[in-house]
């Protein structure tokens, strides 16, 4: 396997893996993202409902009296705070429960359950004083006061964090007996359990994404391997279509393509074409059988391989006719090649094949832009002359003049 093949397979593996990873990660990650958003929306809705319940336990008329310092008294404060303390004590997932009032663009704490010694909470809380100013951090700013003024319950869109941990805050308007807004409740909801569950979901998500990536690598590998196998099969079929089945030499289609490339070489200025034909081949088939004839053809193909130079092209055109194209080969080189081939065929045969001889026609083109059709025709004419002159020889055709050599 060559480096270029490996490079191609690796590129195919990377591209297919990326495509599969994109599909699988979309299938896995997008539903997980929507699921995460859905869980957060459910939690925010839950916090909003808790804020509404907290607002419903507050005595709106009493709370309105506490909105001004002239209406404040410790007794009124304690009476207004007691229902919220019971509400807070019953739900350990709440950090803080408090009420607030907006005066212009400023907000102030009114009630805070952390001020009551009756509060049962596992959290260490810092109580906000009555009418203590409240400043919302800039990252949490929004239209929350406008939403509350419009009578809506408002929940922070994302998590908040302070010294006590992560929480969501829900605010809901407090109504007095006339239905008017008398401040609003704030509930800071503990997210410890939610974040623990989200961490578990996150581990599942990471495992799912890792599995998707591994699957994409596996599928990418299988795709690249299959693609390489298919291309290899196509290449083998293509090569077999260019190859003679009996001799494994190039066939007529294969040699035409090879010759086209050889003649296009800028460094090759002299080309020799040799046509080789087995003498009396029909008699060999008739007297010894077609199997013996095939053996003779295979033997000649082996002789061609032994005699040609590196870079020469040998092919079987069909039947008992063979062709050799020798780039960068002058007349002397072509004659030497023909002599070697004749000597190889005339040598004693250890395989006890039927005796046979060959005739060779040679054509040499000694200029750029060689015309293979013309070279083939001249080589064929030389071969015809060799057959007519007694066979078992080669004849050279130079500029349409044939010269026989025994």
166 domain-assigned: yes
Residues 258 and 176 in one domain: no
CATH number assigned to the domain comprising residue 347: 3.30.70.270
256 domain-assigned: yes
273 domain-assigned: yes
3-state helix, strand, coil in the chain (%, to 5): 50, 20, 25
208 domain-assigned: no
Q: Are 186 and 98 in contact (CB under 8 A)?
A: yes
pLDDT digits (tens, 9 = 90+) for 310-356: 889 899 988 999 999 998 888 999 999 999 999 999 888 766 778 89
Q: Which is higher by pLDDT, 98 or 261? A: 98
Rounded to an integer, the average pLDDT of 17-33 is 83
Using alpha carbons, select from 141, 156, 148 the residue that is nearest to residue 40.
156
Please give the Cα distance from 124 to 101 (Å, whole number).
25
pLDDT digits (tens, 9 = 90+) for 218-264: 888 888 888 777 777 767 676 666 788 888 898 888 888 888 777 76
108 domain-assigned: yes
**Concatenated DSSP letters of 175-200:** E-TTS-EEEEEEEEEE-HHHHHHHHH
Rounded to an integer, the average pLDDT of 203-223 is 85
Residues 31 and 161 in one domain: yes
Q: Which residues pair with 351 in a beta bridge?
A: none
pTM for the whole thing? 0.54
213 domain-assigned: no
Q: Are 89 and 119 in contact (CB under 8 A)?
A: yes
Q: Is the pLDDT of residue 2 over 60?
A: no
Q: Which is higher by pLDDT, 137 or 153? A: 153
Residues 34 and 176 in one domain: yes
Residues 286 and 354 in one domain: yes
Please give the Cα distance from 174 to 264 (Å, whole number).
94
**Concatenated DSSP letters of 144-178:** HHHHHHTT--EE-SS-EEETTEEEEEEEEEEE-TT
Residues 146 and 50 in one domain: yes
Residues 34 and 180 in one domain: yes
Written as six digits, the tokens of 4 are 């270029």
Using alpha carbons, select from 53, 56, 72 the residue that is nearest to residue 64.
72
Q: Is the pLDDT of residue 176 over 70?
A: yes
CA 141: distance to chain centroid? 44
Rounded to an integer, the average pLDDT of 267-293 is 89
Query: Domain residues for 33?
Result: 14-196
Of the ranges 75-89, 265-279, 360-374, which one carries the lowest mean pLDDT score?
A: 360-374
Q: Are 365 and 270 in contact (CB under 8 A)?
A: yes
Domain boundary among 181, 196, 211: 196
pLDDT digits (tens, 9 = 90+) for 51-66: 999 999 999 999 999 9
260 domain-assigned: yes
Crossing angle for the helix pair 192-241 and 3-57, to the nearest 10 degrees: 160
What is the total count of domains within the chain? 2
CATH number assigned to the domain comprising residue 136: 3.30.450.20
Confidence of residue 398 (pLDDT cuts 50, 70, 90): low
Residues 26 and 127 in one domain: yes
């Amino acid at each position: 396997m060559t480096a270029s093949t490996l490079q191609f397979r690796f590129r195919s593996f990377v591209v297919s893996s990326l495509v599969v990873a994109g599909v699988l990660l979309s299938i896995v990650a997008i539903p997980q993202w929507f699921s995460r958003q859905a869980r957060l929306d459910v939690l925010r809705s839950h916090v909003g409902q808790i804020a509404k319940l907290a607002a419903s336990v507050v005595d709106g008329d009493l709370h309105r009296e506490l909105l001004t310092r002239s209406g404040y008294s410790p007794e009124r404060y304690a009476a207004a705070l007691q229902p919220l303390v019971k509400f807070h004590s019953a739900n350990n997932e709440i950090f803080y429960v408090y009420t607030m009032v907006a005066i212009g663009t400023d907000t102030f704490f009114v009630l805070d359950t952390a001020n009551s010694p009756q509060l049962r909470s596992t959290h260490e809380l810092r109580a906000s004083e009555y009418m203590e100013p409240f400043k919302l951090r800039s990252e949490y700013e929004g239209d929350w006061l406008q939403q509350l003024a419009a009578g809506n319950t408002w929940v922070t869109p994302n998590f908040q964090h302070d010294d006590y941990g992560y929480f969501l805050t829900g605010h809901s308007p407090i109504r007095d007996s006339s239905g008017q807004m008398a401040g609003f409740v704030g509930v800071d909801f503990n997210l410890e359990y939610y974040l623990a569950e989200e961490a578990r979901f996150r581990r599942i998500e990471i495992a799912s994404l890792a599995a998707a990536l591994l699957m994409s690598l596996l599928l990418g590998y299988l795709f690249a391997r299959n693609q390489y196998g298919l291309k290899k099969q196509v290449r083998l079929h293509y090569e077999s279509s260019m190859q003679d089945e009996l001799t494994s030499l190039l066939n007529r289609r294969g040699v035409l393509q090879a010759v086209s490339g050889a003649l296009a070489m800028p460094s090759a200025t002299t080309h020799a074409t040799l046509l080789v034909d087995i003498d009396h081949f029909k008699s060999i088939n008739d007297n010894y059988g077609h199997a013996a004839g095939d053996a003779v053809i295979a033997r000649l193909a082996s002789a061609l391989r032994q005699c040609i130079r590196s870079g020469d092209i040998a092919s079987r055109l069909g039947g008992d006719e063979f062709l050799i194209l020798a780039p960068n080969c002058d007349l002397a080189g072509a004659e030497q090649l023909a002599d070697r081939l004749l000597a190889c065929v005339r040598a004693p045969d250890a395989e006890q094949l039927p005796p046979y001889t060959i005739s060779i026609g040679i054509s040499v083109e000694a200029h750029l832009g060689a015309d293979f059709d013309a070279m083939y025709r001249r080589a064929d004419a030389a071969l015809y002359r060799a057959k007519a002159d007694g066979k078992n020889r080669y004849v050279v055709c130079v500029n349409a003049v044939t010269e026989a050599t025994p």
